[in-house]
Amino acid sequence: MVSIDVPPPTDRPLAVGSLVAALGDAGYRVTEPRRVVGELIAARGGHFSAADLIADAHARRTGIGRATIFRALDLFTELRVLERLDLPSGEHAYVPCAPARHHHHIVCSVCGRVAEIEDVGLAGTLEGVQQRTGWQVDSHRLELYGRCPRCRSGRHA
């Protein structure tokens, strides 16, 4: 079975509530700064860097400091509603996601949107590697890059 998590109709990978709710569910305090960080994350369509959020927070004149943002990002990541990934450029980026089971991401190199891919069917491939190489494959990271349907059809080269 291969189910694809097509980006929601609206564009928004994850509702603000999900992020904040995860806090409460896990027994963490739902504070104002964390709520705001959640909003800022939701306000961005796709992946973003810590610097992006810090800039957003500053632009919106919230009094939130860098440290708090980094701490919130760590927290959300720990709660698995956020995932940290490495762009080909070597930069770090975060992407909101449902705390689901193992999945991968595909990043649009034009607009930055990110979609989750539930299962690409790697199990067999990895099994093959294991048998051919003698290595035991414990985990893996797969990141895909390309163009989303929207950017694909249209003016973009």
Residues binding DNA (CB under 7 A): 24, 28-34, 49-51, 62-68, 70-72, 74, 92
43 binds, among DNA, a copy of itself, none (CB under 5 to 8 A by kind): none
Quickly tell me which residue has 């991401």 as its tokens.
Answer: 105
Question: Of 29 and 102, which has the nearer Cβ to DNA?
Answer: 29
Element holding 113 (H helix, E strand): none
Token pair in block for residue 128 = 């093959």
CA–CA distance from 5 to each of 69, 85, 109, 150 (Å)?
A: 28, 18, 19, 16
Question: Of 10 and 89, which has the nearer Cβ to DNA?
Answer: 89
Residues in contact with a copy of itself by CB under 8 A are 2, 4, 6, 84, 86, 88, 90, 92, 106, 108-109, 115, 117, 120-122, 125-126, 128-130, 132-149, 152
Question: Of 33 and 45, which has the nearer Cβ to DNA?
Answer: 33
Residue 28 CB, shortest distance to a copy of itself, in Å, is: 22
Question: What Rg, from alpha-carbon coordinates, does the chain have?
Answer: 17
Helix axes 50-59, 66-78, angle to 10 degrees: 130
